Structure 1
Amino acid sequence: MAITLGNNLIQHSTLNRINHTSNNLARQISSGTKHPSAVFGPSAYAIDMRMNANIAAVSQSDANSQRTNAMLKTAEGGVSSSVEALGQLQQTLLNAANGTNSDSDRRDLGKMVDQTIATLNDNAGIQYNGMNLLDGSKSANVASLDGSTSITNLGDMRSSALGLTDANGKSTLNLGTDAGIADALDKVTTALNKTLDQATTIGAAQQRLNYQSANFVTQEENLMAASTTSNGTDMAKAASEFKNNDTQQKLFLFAQKAQMNTMASHYSALALLR
Structure 2
Amino acid sequence: MSAREAVERLLGVEVTGVRRSGGAVCLVTAAGRGVLVAKEGAGPGATEAEAAGLRWLGEYGDVPVPEVHAHDGEWIVMAYVPPTYPEAAAAEEFGRGLARLHLRGAPAYGSPPPGGPADAWMGLAPMRNEPGEDWASFYAAQRVLPYVRMCVDQGLYDTEQAAVFERLCARLPELGGPPEPPSRIHGDAWSGNVHWAQGAVWLIDPAAHGGHREADLAMLQLFGTPLLGHILGAYEEAAKDLDAPLAEGWRERVELHQLFPLLMHAAVFGAGYARQALRAARAALG
TM-score by length of 1: 0.19
More strand by share: 2
Which protein, 1 or 2, shows the higher relative CO under an 8 Å CA cutoff with sep ≥ 6?
1
TM-score, normalised with respect to structure 2: 0.19
* Structure possessing the higher radius of gyration over alpha carbons: 1
